[in-house]
Amino acid sequence: MGLLSKKDAKLITDPLADNNPITLQVLGICSALAITAELKASIVMSVAVLFVLGLGNVVISLMRNIIPSKIRIIVQLIVVATLVIIVDLVLKAFAYELSKTLSVFVGLIITNCIIMGRFEAFALANGPWKSFLDGIGNSLGYAVILIIIGFFRELLGSGTLLGFKVLGDPIEKTGVYAFGYENNGFMLLAPMALITVGIIIWVQRYKNQDLIEEN
């Protein structure tokens, strides 16, 4: 990598697999369950988190030496909330349609524990550039899992991907439905998202057994 030193590149690649925020740090599970019934929602949420976490990590990192430790969590919360509200207002004024798509996610971003988790664990102790990379890396790691879950839930639950009927029409009985296949409506509910996360964790630890915790 020309642009990034080896250490910096690790900040981006680590969270993608071996230090994934969802499957290993167990952060951001709630939103991974809540909004992954469709692939599109997963992607939108991932982009929103990428933006807020990248920017938020830089802001917190710049302020890290002047934040009083007693109220640091409140300060972090204010930074996230402010960023999200600014984005929301600007979108409402200049890209109204986009803001309609995103409006539901605003509240979810503020409460997403990945953001607070990375502020607390990384940005408070590292410089802005590193924090920025860490933010990007972690939100990409988050995105990977979200998109995998969204892919399977939408495919098996509704038989569509990004709204396209890839398996045929369940009502007209075309495509695979002609052979008696049925959508599994259970995939649309939160419990199956949790089970999907479980399966991903299982596969990941099977592939890389160093990740298994000793007890």
Partner 1 sequence: MAKNTDSNTYTVLFATGMVLVVGTLLAFLASSLKEKIAENKRIEKQQNILYAMGVNENEEGSLAFVAKENVESEFSKYITKQVVIEGEKVTENNEAYLIDLKKEAASAKVASYTRKLPLFVGNKEGKEFYIVPMRGKGLWDAIWGYVALDNQLVVQGVYFDHAGETPGLGSNIKERYFMDDFIGEHILDGDTFKGITAAKGNSDPKNVDKTDFEVDAIAGATITGDGLSAMLKKDLKMYLPYLKTLKK
Nearer residue to partner 1 within complex by CB, 96 or 179: 96
Q: Out of 5, 26, 34, 191, which residue is the one contacting partner 1 (CB under 8 A)?
A: 34
User: Is residue 5 at the binding interface for partner 1, with CB under 8 A as the rule?
Assistant: no
User: Is residue 191 at the binding interface for partner 1, with CB under 8 A as the rule?
Assistant: no
Q: Out of 17, 188, 194, 211, which residue is the one contacting partner 1 (CB under 8 A)?
A: 188
Subset of residues 108 to 147 that bind partner 1, contact rule: CB under 8 A = none
Sign of the CA dihedral running 137, 3, 1, 7:
negative
194 in helix, strand or coil?
Answer: helix
**Cβ of residue 174: shortest distance to partner 1, in angstroms?**
13
Instruction: Assign residue 161 a region (left: φ > 0; alpha: ψ between -120 and 50; beta: otherwise).
Output: beta
Distance (Å, rounded) from C-alpha 32 to C-alpha 143? 9
- For the record, the structure tokens of 46 come out as 């991932």
**Whether the Cβ atoms of residue 135 and residue 46 lie closer than 8 Å to each other:** no
**Cβ of residue 1: shortest distance to partner 1, in angstroms?**
32
CA distances from 130 to 5, 37, 170, 174 (A): 11, 33, 49, 52
Q: Out of 5, 26, 62, 103, which residue is the one contacting partner 1 (CB under 8 A)?
A: 103
User: Is residue 69 at the binding interface for partner 1, with CB under 8 A as the rule?
Assistant: yes
Residues binding partner 1 (CB under 8 A): 34-38, 40-41, 44-45, 65-71, 74-75, 78, 82, 85-86, 89-90, 92-94, 96, 103-105, 107, 154, 157, 171, 185, 188-189
